[in-house]
Amino acid sequence: MKIMVINSGSSSIKYQIFDMRDRSVLASGLLEKIGEPDSRLAHQTLVQGNRFEKIEKKAAVADHRQGFDLINTVLKDTGALRNMAELAGIGHRVVHGGEAFTQPTLIDDAVIDTIRTLIPLAPLHNPANLTGIEVARAGAPDVPQVAIFDTAFHQTLPPHAFHYAIPRELYRKHAIRRYGFHGTSHFYVAKQAAGLMRRPFETLSLITLHLGNGASATAVQNGVSIDTSMGLTPLEGLIMGTRCGDLDPAIIFYLERETGRSSDAIDALLNKESGLKGICGVNDMREIAQLAEAGNTDARLAIDMYLYRLRKYIGSYTAVLGRLDALVFTGGIGENAAGIRSAACRDLEMLGIIIDEDKNRAATREAREIHSTDSRVRILVIPTNEELEIADQTKRLLESASSHETGDR
């Protein structure tokens, strides 16, 4: 069984093809700068000896339809996929499912219409996701297609966690509430943590920390998300690469009055020019760490603020859970920045969190435990794999749908 996973952006298409017999990656690629004269496709195909053969194509790609055609051609030319009929299904990442979608969903016209109604909740993401869906359906009309929503895992939040303290009418009429994001990643690493700990997923209390350019924390209790740091949008919560995270909302009104900026300009300021970049001018944690070591005080402040916010969430979610079995780090920073992991866990002995520095700094990319033998809480580093999780969920849904059809006959 082959499944293709597509993550469509406003000017990009990222894809992977999995052989679900062993969950191996047969091919993957990224088409960037769609709509520009210097569009670029970087593709790799699995060849003999578990080696990937890489190619690059540069050509003007006017739109996503041309992009999908180019990808099809490259898949065929490299032997990765002779035609789309070889696929058992296509799984699409969709950022916002609102309250309408809590599970993987087979895509039809009605589903597309509903996703379109959710565009006001994710104006930068859902339109691009929809474009990818529509182009893929047109290019592979006989292949079942499935939507996997970033928000779905967090639809188990209880009302006291997802409501904001604003007039209830705003929730009823405009669906303003906490939705949370990175759900596919949090779900994947939480399940991997259960496997590493050899414990049933449904019995564990976990804090999962997805730390990349975007960052979020989630409290997982008995297999479900009960709180998460991102809110109505991905802007809330932890300090991120270019997003401010938690903020006094009155700052927005103050900026409007004192600077004359429009709401769109402030939106761009808080999403694209704030966070680590706003503090020290750089949003890559590796570069920030180098600057801090060289004595740059702004870089040092950025790291200190980042860690302070992170530790506050660890403490608050420990209180929410009541019992913490494991703290899980994932994402580009969470998986690779040993110094950030160490500093985040420092002086948390009262919570039962004690890191082993030798294990923490070991040079490996495998899922691993990095806690001290004296730690009551296990500390794990688990590489995330959102594409594989999307493929897994797509496979399960298609198999379930097939079994139901067989049973109906």
Please write the tens of the pLDDT for every residue from 90-143.
999 999 999 999 999 999 999 999 999 999 988 888 999 999 999 999 999 999
Share above pLDDT 90 across residues of the chain, in percent, rounded to a whole number: 93
Q: Please give the angle made by the CA atoms of 5, 9 and 14, to the nearest 5 degrees.
A: 35
Catalytic residue among 22, 77, 113, 150: 150
For the whole prediction, is pTM greater than 0.85? yes
- The answer to whether residue 405 scores a pLDDT higher than 70 is no
pLDDT band at 406 (very low <50, low <70, confident <90, very high): low
CATH T-level topology, domain 193-386:
Nucleotidyltransferase; domain 5 (3.30.420)
- Residue 401: is its pLDDT beyond 60? yes
Distance between CA atoms of residues 246 and 258, nearest Å = 21
Residues of CATH 3.30.420.40 domain(s) within the chain? 2-149, 193-386
Q: Identify the pLDDT of residue 329.
A: 98
Strand order in the sheet with 2-8: 51-58, 40-47, 24-32, 13-19, 2-8, 87-94, 145-149, 105-106
Compute φ and ψ for 325, nearest 5 degrees: -90, -35
The predicted-structure confidence for 8-49, as pLDDT tens digits, reads as follows 998 899 999 999 999 999 999 999 999 999 999 999 999 887
For residue 393, give the nearest of 146, 87, 218 by alpha carbon.
Answer: 146
Provide the pLDDT for residue 404: 65
The per-residue pLDDT of the chain, averaged, comes to 95
- 217 dihedral zone (left: phi>0; alpha: psi -120 to 50; beta): beta
Bridge partner list, 25? 18
Encode pLDDT of 71-82 as tens digits.
Answer: 999 999 999 998
Say if residue 340's pLDDT is above 60.
yes
Cβ burial 309-322 (10 Å sphere, 16+ → b, else e): bbbebbeebbeebe
CA atoms of 181 and 260, how far apart (whole Å): 31
Spatial strand order in the sheet of 326-330: 224-228, 215-221, 205-211, 326-330, 378-381, 368-369
* pLDDT score, position 123: 87
- In 222-371, the DSSP E strands lie at 224-228, 326-330, 368-369
DSSP classification of residue 355: B
What fold does the segment set 2-149 form as a domain? Answer: Nucleotidyltransferase; domain 5 (3.30.420)
Residue 341's H or E segment, with its range, is helix 338-345
Beta bridge partners of 106: 146
402 pLDDT more than 80:
no
The pair phi, psi for residue 239, each rounded to 5°, is -70, 135
User: Is residue 38 annotated as part of the catalytic site, yes or no?
Assistant: no
Look at residue 196 in the predicted model and tell me its pLDDT: 98
What's the Cα-to-Cα distance from 22 to each of 18, 26, 393, rounded to whole Å? Answer: 9, 11, 15
Label residue 50 by pLDDT band (50, 70, 90): confident
| CB hemisphere CA count around 55 (13 angstroms) | 15
The pLDDT assigned to 240 comes to: 97
Q: Please, what's the largest Cα pairwise distance for the chain?
A: 71
Percentage, residues of the chain above pLDDT 70? 99
